Structure 1
């Protein structure tokens, strides 16, 4: 697939990941939530039939993990059924669908997960995202489901910005040291999509390299982080202890510490 010569549609173009996707695909048709409500099946099909893209990249999602516990119906509409509507429309115009899922489709009882491992979510967000994966597989034969983790980027709220804000307001910042994953820079993820489009239909794990705890991640950003356990910092949604995604299908991306340096340079310019 010669990506530069095809018509690309980005859904959720003004979000943290969507903004960086727009830089990688500057000629793409770009739709925000105001332009397209992915929970509206008729609107989704009508829009995609009208645009007739060759590639659809869906970066629209409801990503508030704790919020999903309170808004279960909305979570399943946006993260579960919405991607199915997009996949159905893609099938009608023979477009390739790129969709982003999450490490939270796994329960975290193992140290790491490959693409073929059986998902078992432990919170509503993970359940809704798994339904999205299943809805896509049922409605399209040409898709790239990309599971990602711990995203940070300059165009939205993220862990790095939260740590910087708390660090400036508090003497010490408590951060859990018993949940492990792979921080991923949205710029690196967006740049990887053209490579993924050249590969076969299926599920991919794409993260920056290197594993850390939230506390270790925070300590690379601020100097007043202190470790605590998940029991000391209860949240509405259960989090997997180990949500480490292993990429077995493509070349690795740079280490998250290198990516973090690039992020800090970009945000400060």
Structure 2
């Protein structure tokens, strides 16, 4: 792995921080590189001439995407055409992370070959990114994942811990079902995916739960509610469970959560 020249985009985000551990010699690019600037992206990849580009940069505020549609499509969609094209020109492998929200939630489980049908701007922008990658390079690994939590960014676990201290009862929806995924585990899985054939891969921690089930594993003062009782700007799929048919599954999300909470306790 050390012999592979690697560049990480979005290197200082929640997933990017854990990718730094997996690729310790990587060249890191954060906000100083505007991935929506085609010339800047092309120059960066051309000048560095990497073997591998790992893109963890994204606009992930699902409700914010509804208000900032142009930005969402620029960052999550159009930028991937620039990155993929530059990778193709440089002969670099591209790894990109996508989302369960490319699906509409009408099925209980989605495999890699299922037809996407996003129901919000975030999902639609991420789907455009996938399509632009496929159009512009043949050497890609698109990793769809879901419900990310990690030590280096805002996430559901931290939100629950915070709200639990501020409120007598925390209401969490029990009719949206998916798979929580620890960024440490996702990052560690990435080199294995790089070694596989080009294509789309579903990578999540094992185990299926609702947001309420997830919350109940984090805090005690949580009560269930429906999505109708807790309206959000962006519509969410009811079932966005990703089935990985191509690689061995990651450990159960509850085990990953225990490690996360233990690490948090040690560092706090």
Q: TM-score range by the shorter chain?
A: over 0.9
Deviation of 1:188 after TM superposition, in Å, equals: 0.2
Residue 234 (structure 1) aligned with residue 241 (structure 2)? no
Question: Structure 1 unaligned runs (5+)?
Answer: none
* Partner SS, residue 147 of structure 1: strand
What TM-score, normalized to structure 2?
Answer: 0.99
Deviation of 1:33 after TM superposition, in Å, equals: 1.3
* Partner SS, residue 231 of structure 1: coil
Residue 81 (structure 1) aligned with residue 78 (structure 2)? yes
1:101-127 per-residue CA deviation (whole Å, 9 max, x = no partner) reads 000000001000000000000000000
After superposition, the CA RMSD in angstroms is 0.5
Counterpart of 1:216 in structure 2 is: 213
Counterpart of 2:8 in structure 1 is: 10
Residue 19 (structure 1) aligned with residue 14 (structure 2)? no
Equivalence map 1:84-123=2 (5 Å): 84-123=81-120
Residue 143 (structure 1) aligned with residue 140 (structure 2)? yes
Residue 173 (structure 1) aligned with residue 164 (structure 2)? no
Distance in 2 separating the partners of 1:193 and 1:127: 24
1:177-201 per-residue CA deviation (whole Å, 9 max, x = no partner) reads 0000000000000000110011000
1:26-78 per-residue CA deviation (whole Å, 9 max, x = no partner) reads 100000012x1000001000010000000000000000000000000000000
1:170-221 per-residue CA deviation (whole Å, 9 max, x = no partner) reads 0000000000000000000000011001100000000000000000000000
* Partner SS, residue 146 of structure 1: strand
| Count of matched residue pairs | 266
* Partner SS, residue 5 of structure 1: coil
Deviation of 1:267 after TM superposition, in Å, equals: 1.4
Distance in 1 separating the partners of 2:5 and 2:159: 36
Residue 266 (structure 1) aligned with residue 255 (structure 2)? no
